[in-house]
A and B are shown apart, each in its own frame.
Chain A
Amino acid sequence: MAGQQDAPSHPHTATRPVGGALRRVADGPAGEWIGTVVRLALAVVWGWAGLAKISDPAEAAQAVRAYEILPESLVKPVGYALPFLEVALAVLLLIGLGVRVVAVVSALLLLTFIAGITSAWVRGISIDCGCFGGGGTVDASQTEYLQEILRDTGFLLLAAWLVYRPRTRLSADAWLAA
């Protein structure tokens, strides 16, 4: 939270040659609105991902199994827990509670997903990432690893913004701090 303490006063920004304007925007009231948009966008991503997977436990487990990373004993717990975890992150982001903590967890989860997809790609396994439901083996011509990694990297940037600037408008955090 140290990043916030000098936020209101920035007498030296003028001397910063690069990123000064961006920093001023990020630190100012506009930044808090940008943060709100980022927060809600990430909430939509997690909510969508979680709800798409929640209806069919066997499918969610198979999506995990298809990566051929986890032992069979962990496939179901992970497949079963993930959608609920994602929905929990979505709800917390929606209300804006503990945004920095949620953003850190989000970022770690996204890094795990990116690593998993990369690993499948490198090993030549043909799967759908199962990110938004579905998942499992697909024809080799139907893999979309690059798109999936780029998409998750985009989400990672959203999470990173919130780690950097967790203070947002219309959030439980702001209400608690007041």
Chain B
Amino acid sequence: MSEKNRDGKRTARERMQEERAAQEAKARRNKKLIVGGSVLAVIAVAAVVGVMVQNNRSKPETPVAAPAGTIGDKNLVIPVGSANAPSTLTVYEDPRCPACGAFEREFGPTIDQLEDQGKLFVNYHIVSFIDRAVPGKGSRYGANALGCAQDAGHFRDYHDVLYRNQPDETNDAFGNKATLIALAKPIPGLDTPAFQACVNDNAFSGWVSAVQQDFDKSNFKSTPTVLLNGGPVYPKMGTEEITPANLVKWVDAANQGKPLGTPGTNGQSPAPTSTASETNNPSPGTGG
């Protein structure tokens, strides 16, 4: 009897202990669920906020301000030479890309000559993706300075000077705006307060970003990418290696039987027949 009673008491105590343990376990579980849930919520909110913030911060793919005389449906392309020349050379270049520098130093004079003869219309896409791989701002600032030179009507000369003075890829000399401005000094009429302000204010940064995003979405992966009338010619056209002589030969072959274009003034754009727009460029450069 008394045994049974003790038994009863023990089980009651045990039951109470078990109950308390179960309650504590439940509270612990709840706490864990709350913490886990809050953590997942924080992570989800971070992702959503990230998309919104970055969407706000990212530069539009259609630039609000493009350099005067640029062409193409979003004014991303800088034209040099006469627009009615029978052949078109399309060039994708990054100011910091060593292969672009090598290309320009080897082919620049030939290309200038073909432009001046009315044989070649050159379309430059100034991309700026080296900054992503090699720390610095030289690609973006350099591209902006090229846009400023285009705006002032001195793109070709400045472009040639820039690539002749290109630093090593790892040396971010073009990330220094004073360097970019100093390089304009030898070009008559370019080193103006307007140009300096344009470089210092990074005035065409939105345009630079838009040109880069256009390149990002293209099938082209590297610079220089060089196309003659839409077909790749760098480093080879078919099996033939590109050389200044071969480039002239290829252009002449493509131009055969076609009237030459009207040579511009030293190839400087804005080119006379440029479709430069209308919407984005209220005032064409006065320097050209």
Where the two chains meet, the residues of A that have a C-beta atom closer than 8 Å to any C-beta of B are 1, 56-62, 65, 72, 76-77, 79-85, 87-89, 92, 97-98, 100-102, 105, 126, 128, 133-139, 173, 176-177
Contact = CB atoms under 8 A, between A and B. Distances in A.
A85 B50 contact: yes
B53 A98 contact: no
B42 interface: yes
B216 interface: yes
B54 A65 contact: no
A89 B43 contact: yes
Contact of B47 (A85, A101, A136, A137): A85
Given A57-B54, A58-B212, A84 B221 contact: no
A134 B58 contact: no
Contacts, number: 97
Contacts of A105: 40, 43
Interface residues on B, range: 20 to 34
B132 A134 contact: yes
Contact of B132 (A87, A89, A98, A135): A135
Interface in B172-207: none
A92 B58 contact: no
Contacts of A81: 46-48, 50-51, 54
Given A58-B212, A80-B54, A101-B36, A88 B43 contact: yes
A100 B217 CA distance: 39
A101 B39 contact: yes
Given A85-B50, A98-B35, A136-B133, A58 B59 contact: yes
Contacts of A57: 54-55, 57-58
B13 interface: no
A69 to B, nearest CB: 15
Contacts of A80: 50-51, 53-55, 58
Contacts of A65: 216-217
A81 B132 CA distance: 19
Contacts of A58: 58-59, 209, 212-213, 216
A62 B53 contact: no
27 contacts: A56-B132, A57-B55, A58-B209, A58-B212, A62-B213, A65-B216, A76-B54, A76-B55, A80-B55, A80-B58, A81-B47, A83-B54, A84-B49, A84-B50, A85-B43, A88-B46, A89-B43, A97-B35, A98-B36, A100-B36, A101-B36, A134-B132, A134-B133, A136-B216, A137-B222, A173-B35, A176-B31
A113 to B, nearest CB: 16
Contacts of B213: 58, 62
Given A62-B132, A80-B54, A176 B47 contact: no
Given A57-B57, A136-B129, A84 B47 contact: yes
B39 A84 contact: no
Contacts of A56: 132
Given A57-B57, A136-B133, A92 B49 contact: no
B236 interface: no
B51 A88 contact: no
Contacts of A134: 132-133
B32 A60 contact: no
A97 B47 CA distance: 18
